[in-house]
Amino acid sequence: MPIVPINQILVGRNRRPIKGEKVDELKESIKANGLLNPITVDQKLNLIAGLHRLTACKLLGLDAIECNIVTYQYAEQARLAEIDENLIRNELEPLERSELWLERDRILSRMGLRAKVGDNQHTVKGGEMISLPLKRTWELAKEAGYSERTFQHGKQIAKGIHPDVKQMIQGTAIAQSPTALLKIARAGSQELAVAEAAQQALELAQAQGDIREVERQAKLLAQTKNQQKELQIIAYNSALAEKEAKLLHKKSQRQPEATGEKLPFAPATKVTVGEEWILGRHLVYCGDTAQQEFMNLLPSDATVAIATVSSIWNHNYLVGEARVVAVLRSQGQIYEFYRHNQMPFQYELVLGNIYVGIFSHHSLSQPQTAINVEGIEGIVNYLLNLYTSPNNFVIAPFMGNGEVLIACERMGRICFIGDEQPELVSRGIGRWEKWTGKQCQKMR
């Protein structure tokens, strides 16, 4: 097996990210046993397979490495071999796998080995086959070890998601979810189609030397790509919020004290109207939250206000206190609510049998993908993930079962919450104490 100086190995740009833990394992193995599996390069020493092995050898200070040198007539054949080598790996994330499927598909098309709709399987002349059978989608999917539907969805993910959004996805809770990735890809599908048409028109104008048309199509291309990115960032935030809400819901199912369905404890804290309580970083007020006493306690830069289901509403002031106001209402209450409130409406979400009205003085885009979360607890978690970050201020003018308070505690937000019913305030404080194992402190 040939030995090649490491500094002569050429590594292309289209490489999967290096995983540090895998390199560390290989370093220990190579130190103990040597390189058991040589890397693979082409005749020009372009790396085809073995980036982690090559990296481990570099870090060990080795000057040369054993190589399996294969000869390819064309560079794209070498890249196909590299892709096939990578697809064998089980640790690929869905987005990585999808990218390789799409690239492999495009290479086969450029090489004339990819069947298009309406193509015969192979060309025959005088009873003799004169070209290799063209690869059809179901055959490519079978070679990849997946269903044709999964294969097509994977290519849609790779082709449809804006490069900047792909960077955002890496390492997040949705990186392993093909369903979430497909939602994001589809969010900007119309804009992508316009951008592709603009790209083709741009190239034609360049070939024809039409400078004015080149400028027009370049502007349209930039605008539509930016629109695609904006829509997909919204879809990304929504998918991430939905994922986090589901994870928190599962955790709460394993911890009965965290659910608002049954409260297996008697509130020990006696609360009366007009009192203020400190719960860690949170502030709790007992009294009418539509009055000035509660307003005076609120921060000047709250990110979101969440009003859970209640038949009472005198809280239009919230839209001046928080950037986003989310109001949860049941079907029977929603139309009466919209008829009387005066807050600037942005959009509405229907989650199960709960209507969520979103209000803001700022322009907000509505998530276009379907959202699947369960119950008030899940909706609150979704909204906090969608609109807030750790240490943001959250306002809740109704205690309910303490959904907003407990969600803020879990997620590192700071909650300003109140209710005019002492028993609800007492129960919410008791739930927080049971959840955290801490005690509240009375301010006044």
pLDDT digits (tens, 9 = 90+) for 155-167: 899 999 999 999 9
Q: What integer is the mean pLDDT of 96-119? A: 78
- Per the CB < 8 A criterion, the answer to whether 328 and 310 are in contact is no
In this predicted model, which residue has the larger pLDDT, 134 or 103?
103
Q: What is the pLDDT of residue 378?
A: 86
Distance CA 292, CA 303 (A): 20
When pLDDT is averaged across residues 94-118 and rounded to a whole number, the result is 80
- Residue 10 φ/ψ, nearest 5 degrees: -100, 125
Find the farthest-apart pair of alpha carbons in the chain and give their distance in angstroms, rounded.
Answer: 98
Q: How far is CA 139 from the centre of its chain?
A: 31
Beta strands 302-307 and 322-330, pairing class = parallel
Residue 125 pLDDT: 42
pLDDT above 70: residue 349: yes
The DSSP output letter for 254 is: H
Q: Report the alpha-carbon distance of residue 153 to residue 142 in Å, rounded.
A: 14
| pLDDT exceeds 90 at position 79 | no
What local confidence, expressed as pLDDT, does residue 123 receive?
Answer: 46
Give backbone dihedrals phi and psi of 345, rounded to 5 degrees, phi first.
Answer: -80, 135
Interatomic CA distance for residues 104 and 94, integer angstroms: 15
Indicate the range of 73-87, 132-146, 299-313 predicted with least confidence. Answer: 132-146
Contact by Cβ (8 Å): 168, 95: no
305 pLDDT band, cuts 50/70/90, is very high
Q: Over the stretch 205-226, which tens digit does the pLDDT of each residue have?
A: 999 999 999 999 999 999 999 9
Supply φ then ψ for residue 124, to 5 degrees. -125, 135
pLDDT at 186 over 60: yes
User: In the CATH scheme, what architecture does the domain 269-442 have?
Assistant: 3-Layer(aba) Sandwich (3.40)
Element (H, E) at 65: strand 64-70
The CATH topology of domain 1-91 is 3.90.1530
Regarding pTM above 0.85, the answer is no
Cα radius of gyration (the chain):
29
pLDDT at 124 over 50: no
Asked whether the predicted pLDDT for residue 333 surpasses 70, the reply is no
Task: Supply the pLDDT for residue 56.
Answer: 93
The two structure tokens encoding residue 164: 């900047």
Count of CB atoms situated within 10 Å of the CB of 366? 11
Provide the mean pLDDT of the chain: 84
Q: Domain extents for the chain?
A: 1-91, 269-442
Report the C-alpha gap between 351 and 184 in whole angstroms: 19
